[in-house]
Amino acid sequence: MKLRRVVVTGLGALTPLGNNVNDFWKNITAGVSGAGPITRFDASKFKTRFACEVKGFDPADFIEKKELRKMDPFSHYAIAVSVQGVQDAGLENNPAIDPDRTGVIWGSGVGGLKTFQDEVLQFAKGDGTPRFNPFYIPKMIIDLAPGHISMRYGFRGPNFATVSACASSTNALIDAFNYIRLNMADVMLTGGSEAPINESGVGGFNALHALSTRNDDPATASRPYDKDRDGFVMGEGGACIILEELEHAKKRGAKIYAEMVGGGMSADAYHMTAPHPEGFGAYHVMVNALRDAEMKPVEIDYVNTHGTSTPIGDPQELKAIQKAFGEHAYKLHISSTKSMTGHLLGGAGAVEALASILSVRDDIVPPTINHFTDDPEIDSRLNLTFHKAIKTKVNAALSNTFGFGGHNATVIFKKYTD
């Protein structure tokens, strides 16, 4: 069976660096940090009192007010970016779009965490009488994000959610990619969103000792590959990627950002939260993606790393890159955009795929900011694109995401050519 080709025809973004694709890309290529003091709740007693929050977002710009109360913030974010993506791709009310052949696959790691927290706290304050919001469960469960998107547009194709911690939205992209390749859909809205900046989210990750506690300087706290990195910075928001079968896109005259050519998956099978010390899972997921794309390592120009700014995670991924790419690893441009966006958990893969797609489109490699001290564990010959974006030819970009539980997912985008 010949697999069909898949291209990117629409994008949407809601991030700590901007509430649309253009603002996001302008700030990420300028090396802007999205971190600042937490405003979502009183964090004065928390070990970590800062995060990368979405700023100036009003969900009522995208959702009718009577519907807002039926959704958790992670679904607000999903709707907002999907509206942008649908508009960008020209899908709405388009006779060329068959709703039965158009689907939605969405990723989130924790979904309606704020809803769960608020409902349980409210119950605990009472006398034991169960008084729960009738929308409690629908607001909380992750699959309602793609459900709401499909209901908004009447898209009746494949519809579900993927959950693999911080790899969730990359898994969503891979699934959507495969449904189109296998002729089970023509168009897929995919991506991910997360809204974890609340008491239980920050407190829970603090308990894991996963977050940076650099409260005196939030803007420089996310410092992947720096010797003094001390954990990741929580982020929120999401991104939407519209994937479409090539001939379908050409027939309706859609603009094409890039071609999605491969996806890889693997498991560390090692530890709940720590990566394999030799990076076996990370190595295999990149090899699997390259094999799926029928590409050689030398054909990749840019790697957007998982790069969370954690002491044990960063070196292992770079070891895996060196193993997977051999000598070409030293010719790659490598960067961690989490140094600017923070870590969007289940939404990270979608936002980093977006950065990779725009890197291919514009021939720009975004930087890794906040590098101050070299880490002797990290090979200094690697080009980690510190401090400033680089203008260079990017024919193909690979993006990694790894999640708690040892879940690894990788996607590859390249310039579209006939």
| Cβ within 8 Å of residue 241, ≥6 positions away | 8, 10, 11, 85, 173, 176, 189, 190, 191, 350, 353, 354, 357
pLDDT at 42 over 80: yes
Give the pLDDT confidence score for residue 274 in this predicted structure.
83
List, by residue number, the catalytic residues.
166, 306, 343
Q: How far apart are CA 396 and CA 258, in angstroms?
A: 9
Q: How far apart are CA 277 and CA 195, in angstroms?
A: 30
Across the chain, what does the average pLDDT equal? 97
- The pLDDT confidence band at residue 278, using thresholds 50, 70 and 90, is confident
pLDDT at 275 over 90: no
Span 333-361, pLDDT tens digits: 999 999 999 999 999 999 999 999 999 99
Give the pLDDT confidence score for residue 177 in this predicted structure.
98
Q: How far apart are CA 347 and CA 170, in angstroms?
A: 8
Please report, for residues 16, 24, 353, 366, the alpha-carbon distance to residue 389 in angstroms, rounded to integers and kept in the order given. Answer: 18, 14, 17, 4
Give the pLDDT confidence score for residue 336 in this predicted structure.
98
- The pLDDT confidence band at residue 279, using thresholds 50, 70 and 90, is confident
Give the pLDDT confidence score for residue 243 in this predicted structure.
99
pLDDT at 368 over 90: yes
Span 229-243, pLDDT tens digits: 999 999 999 999 999
pTM for the model stands at 0.97
| Cβ within 8 Å of residue 413, ≥6 positions away | 8, 258, 259, 260, 261, 353, 356, 357, 360, 396, 397, 399
Span 180-202, pLDDT tens digits: 999 999 999 999 999 999 999 99
Mean per-residue pLDDT, 307-317: 94
In the chain, % of residues over pLDDT 90: 96
Please report where in the chains the tokens 């990370």 appear, as a residue.
282
- The pLDDT confidence band at residue 1, using thresholds 50, 70 and 90, is confident
pLDDT at 218 over 80: yes
| Cβ within 8 Å of residue 331, ≥6 positions away | 298, 383
- The pLDDT confidence band at residue 64, using thresholds 50, 70 and 90, is very high
- The pLDDT confidence band at residue 276, using thresholds 50, 70 and 90, is confident
